[in-house]
Amino acid sequence: MLDIFIFWITLSLNYVLLATGLTLTISVMRVVNMAHGNFYMAGAYAFLVFSEKAHMPYGIALLLAILFVGAIGMVVEAKLYRRLGGRIEPSIICMCGVLLALEGLATILFGPDIRGLPPMVAGTAMIGKTVVSMGRLAVAVTALCVITALFIFLKYTRMGKSIRATAQDREAASLMGINVKLVSSLSMGIGTAMAVIAGVQITAVYSLSPFVGITALCTSILIITLGGMGSIIGAFIAAFIIGLSDSFGASFIGRYHHLLSFGTVMLILLFRPLGLMGTRVEAEGKEK
C-alpha cells in the first residue's frame, strides 16, 4: 500500500511538471503545443545519448538534455509558430508536423525498440516494512524542487511577472514595454524544459520508445483540461487526480484505468466546462 502511495506521489509530481510545461506554453502562445509529448520523448533520448554514449554524470546529462531540447523548442517557437501569427488551425497543424518530424527522427536515429533509462540513484531504502527504491524518492524530490523553483520564478522575478502579464493580455503587456517575443520564446523554452525533466524521470519508471510521446501528450492534455487551461494551480490539483487513477487505479482496477481518468474528466467538464480552475476570461481570449 505504501509503495503505491509513493508511486502516486512520484508520478503525480512528474505529471505536474509535464502539465505545467504545457499549460505555460498554452497560456502564452494561446495554442496547444501538440508536439509537447514528443519534446518529452526527445528529451529522454537526448539524456540517453549524453549519459550512455558520452558517459556523463546524471546531473550534467540532464542539464545538457534540457538545454538542447529547450533550444529546439525555442527555435520552433521563433521560426515556425511565431510566423503563423497566432492563427489556431495553421499553428496546430504546424505543431503536428513538428510532432511527426520528431517521432520520425527518433525512429531513424534510435530504432523503434523499447529501452530503459538509468535511475537517478541506485539502491533501496526501508520505510517501515516496505522496500522503496531510492531512485523514485530522488525523482519525487527533484520534481518538487523544480516545481517550487518555477513557482518562485513566476511569482517573484521580473521575467516571471512578464510571463504572467503576457498570458493575461498579450497586447496590454506589449504596451507596458514587455518584450513579448522574448517572453514567448522563453516560456516555450521553459515549457519544453519541464517536459524534458518529466520525460527523463517518467521514462526511467516506465519505458522509452519513439512512440511514448503520444501517451504523454494524452496524459498532459487530460490534466490541463481537468485543471483548466492556462491555470498552473489547476494543473497541480488535476495532476494528482489523474495520477491517482494511473497509480491506485492501475493497481486495483487493472488495465481499464484509462477509462477512469477519462470518465472523471468528462464528468467534471459536464459541470465545469472550463475545468476546475479555468476562468471565463482566459477561455474567451483563446477561442479567437
Partner 1 sequence: MSLGKTGIALKLPLAIIALGALAYILGFLPNRWQQICILWAIWSTVGMSWLIMLRAGIFSAGQAVFLCIGGYTAAVLTLKFGCSFWLALLVAAALCSIVALIVGVIILRLKGLYFLVISFVFAEIVRLTIAASDYLGSSEGLFGLPVPNSILGINFSTKQGWLYLFILILSIASFTYARMERSRIGRIYSYIGTSPDLAQSFGIYFMKYRVQAYVISAFFTGLTGAAMGGYLGAVSPDGYTFYYSLTSQIVAILGGIGSIVVGPLVGSILYNIFDEYLVYFAGARSLIMGLLLIVVIFFFPEGLVGLRKRFRRTKETKHVVTT
Q: How far is the CB of 228 from partner 1 (least distance, A)?
A: 10
Q: How far is the CB of 112 from partner 1 (least distance, A)?
A: 6
User: Would you tell me which residues interact with partner 1 (CB under 8 A)?
Assistant: 26, 31-32, 34, 80, 83-84, 88-90, 92-94, 96-109, 112, 210-211, 214-215, 217-218, 221-222, 224-225, 229, 254-256, 258-259, 262, 265-266, 269-270, 273-274, 283, 286-287
Q: Which is nearer to partner 1, 71 or 109 (CB)?
A: 109
Q: How far is the CB of 33 from partner 1 (least distance, A)?
A: 11
Q: How far is the CB of 73 from partner 1 (least distance, A)?
A: 15
Q: Which is nearer to partner 1, 196 or 229 (CB)?
A: 229
Q: Which is nearer to partner 1, 6 or 77 (CB)?
A: 77
SS3 per-residue string spanning the chain: CHHHHHHHHHHHHHHHHHHHHHHHHHHHHCCCCCCHHHHHHHHHHHHHHHHHHCCCCHHHHHHHHHHHHHHHHHHHHHHHHHHHCCCHHHHHHHHHHHHHHHHHHHHHHHCCCCECCCCCCCCEEEECCEEEEHHHHHHHHHHHHHHHHHHHHHHHCHHHHHHHHHHHCHHHHHHCCCCHHHHHHHHHHHHHHHHHHHHHHHHHHCCECCCHHHHHHHHHHHHHHHHCCCCHHHHHHHHHHHHHHHHHHHHHCCCCHHHHHHHHHHHHHHHCCCCCCCCHHHHHHHHC
Q: Which is nearer to partner 1, 19 or 204 (CB)?
A: 19
Q: How far is the CB of 110 from partner 1 (least distance, A)?
A: 9
Q: How far is the CB of 218 from partner 1 (least distance, A)?
A: 4
Q: Which is nearer to partner 1, 32 or 137 (CB)?
A: 32
